[in-house]
Amino acid sequence: MSAKDPFAGIWNLNTGRSQFRSGHRPTGGTMFWERTPEGYLMRAEGTTYDGKAVQEGLQAFNLDEKEHPVPGAPGLVAIAHHPDANTIHVQAKNADHVVGEGSYIVSADGTTLIAAVSGTDAQQKPFLTVAVWDRQ
């Protein structure tokens, strides 16, 4: 673990402690966080419940509390802030409507990261995912 930064590094999904919607439970995953001057870059990869490998695109968290366009998602913007060293909050908006929110919280001992993400999916259904990640 980086003594300077609680987020930076590699995190492995703890499927037993995580909460996913039925039919959306992965069998494993790895998340990579890198500190940048503006905030963080994060990417994730894993395996779906039916054995397919997946990789999420690189996400930039600019921690300036300003709207930033989300690449590949026309009209979608993300606003992120860092209220304390172990917490990042992100909000996604389309026009003036909030379509998703996420909180990323690293435990005080730096060994666990909880990602709680909620919003509306592509089928316009509400969702809540709570993923628990263990530091590698």
Over the stretch 40-57, which tens digit does the pLDDT of each residue have?
999 999 999 899 999 988
- pTM to 2 decimals? 0.91
**Would you give the DSSP letter of residue 82?**
E
| Model pLDDT, residue 1 | 43
Report how far residue 82's alpha carbon sits from residue 105's, in angstroms, rounded to the nearest whole number.
10
| Contact status, residue 81 vs residue 67, Cβ threshold 8 Å | no
Counting residues of the chain whose pLDDT is more than 70, the rounded percentage is 98
Over the stretch 11-33, which tens digit does the pLDDT of each residue have?
999 999 999 987 778 999 999 99
Would you say domain 9-135 falls under CATH 2.40.128.20?
yes
The β-bridge relationship of strands 76-84 and 59-62 is unpaired
